[in-house]
Chains A and B, each alone.
Chain A
Amino acid sequence: MNERACQLPRRSFVLGMTGVAFLGVGTATAQETLSRAAGVAVLGQAAKALCLLGTSWVLVDEDGTTYPTTGLDGAAVLDVATDERGVLAVGSRPAPPFTEATVWESADGVTWREAMRLAGVNAEFTGVGFGPGTAMALGSVLTEERAPAQTIAARRERRVWSEVPVTGLEPTAELAITTLSGNRSGWVAAAITQEGTTLYRSPDGASWSTDGTVPDAAVQGLLLEPGGVRWVANAIGGSAAITGTVGAGREPVAVPQDAHAVGAVRTRRGPLSYWLVDGRLVTARI
């Protein structure tokens, strides 16, 4: 937790460590459960999740402490990412009867500012990440029925975000992209079909190609590791919590059966998955 966040209003909240013990029990009431979790990322030295508490987005620390954020009021945030360059969030802003795809930036995960919005287009960004030399977001133009109709991409170049063309993601036009991860060697994105998840890889963010599938799984978090791409997901046929490595096996995650995957991060304790369970965040080693 950085110094600025420590100075902000905070309160304890429930965060569980599956298979170990609850780290702390907060004072939140039944009305104050987390209704959504946009994602999880390592900020400073610790993992933090961006979650919706009531109608407000809060940053949830590893010990369950929550910090109110500013700049995200009314937003539908769908993914977050961090690296030493800062914190990013993507999603949409309401623009009735539609929504407008939006990117937000923050230095600390608490104070946010809008960095880009696709005005006048019914759209949402659904994945954001840092990759080789830049940051990138992917999302969809939506139909009136809010079905994906066209994949959109945006990049940050010299601190300015703009929509960019990409090739190779045409098969995702009518699919939801749930997560985007990058490292020095390139990018990986996950798109959900009725059969499972199709992964797409790109060395530069501009040219993409398919890179394997994860059957019967809606992947919500990716970790790009030397040994392969590790994922966390909920099954599509049923909603079982599962994890695995692309091209290798899968295994259940020891979380309650109604746990919804939020994401995965590499922490000092190793790779950790985050799950939303009955309005509470739960973590599990993967």
Chain B
Amino acid sequence: MITFSTIDGTPVYYWRANRPNTTPRNWQCTQAFYDRLVLWIRDLRSLSTAYGTVSYVASAGFYVNKPGEHGAGTAADIDHIQWSSGTVCTPLDKHHASSNVALRRRYLALDAVTRRRFRWVLNGWYNADHADHIHADFGGTPVRLGTGSSSDVKFIQAMCNNFRNAGLDIDGKWGPLTQAAYTSAKSALGVSGDPTSGAAPYQQMLSAIAKHGFANTTF
């Protein structure tokens, strides 16, 4: 594993003990995972330029000494993103469940950016343990949309509800209502190809969702 305190130059802090703590931390992960984090933060920067630069990230852990992807140094828990404009996205404050739709859309934008680079992304809708952070890891197959994956389906259902008032139950089950809302959203986003069968069309769709989320616009 490697040790790092910044991702591509952006500091990463730990807020769980106290916030807003900006003491540098020596995090660990594998080199391959760090390389992916660099791609992730570059995506984040390029898709959120209206907010200024990404000032720092607060995380609840990369390598964490426990079973699973964290223990292998191939996972990240994202608590907070701070931009130079003062704009924030704070999964730690459960922005996915905020009464402010702009915060919910921004949360989904961050979620979408993360899904562009990591197959398994567990968000606030996934379960209670992830209500206060977005988890990303190297598990599973290459990036694509899985209609049998509870984490993917809940993301699609939340996206359809928050951008298109689809009124879906966020239950992680891909039924006819979710299929119809997804097809309609995909068309509105101008996505070509099938996000369930390949990385490129899914990443195209995720970028489009992120742009709308950071701009707080419907589609």
Contact = CB atoms under 8 A, between A and B. Distances in A.
Given A215-B17, A236-B14, A145 B26 contact: no
A238 B65 contact: no
Contacts of B1: 258
Interface residues of A, number: 33
A144 B77 CA distance: 18
A195 B16 contact: yes
B127 A194 contact: no
Given A194-B16, A195-B16, A147 B64 contact: no
Given A239-B26, A258-B1, A144 B150 contact: yes
B118 to A, nearest CB: 11
Interface stretch (B40-48, B132-140, B180-188): B132-140
Interface of B: 1, 3, 14, 16-17, 25-28, 60-61, 63-69, 77, 79, 120, 122, 126-130, 132-133, 135, 139-140, 148-151
Contact of B120 (A145, A220, A238): A145
B25 A178 contact: no
Given A124-B67, A218-B65, A239-B3, 12 more contacts: A144-B149, A145-B150, A146-B69, A147-B129, A174-B127, A174-B129, A178-B67, A192-B66, A236-B61, A237-B14, A237-B61, A239-B64
A216 B128 CA distance: 20
A149 interface: yes
21 contacts: A144-B151, A145-B149, A146-B69, A146-B139, A147-B68, A147-B127, A147-B130, A147-B135, A148-B129, A174-B127, A175-B129, A178-B67, A196-B16, A218-B64, A218-B65, A238-B25, A238-B26, A239-B26, A239-B65, A258-B3, A260-B65
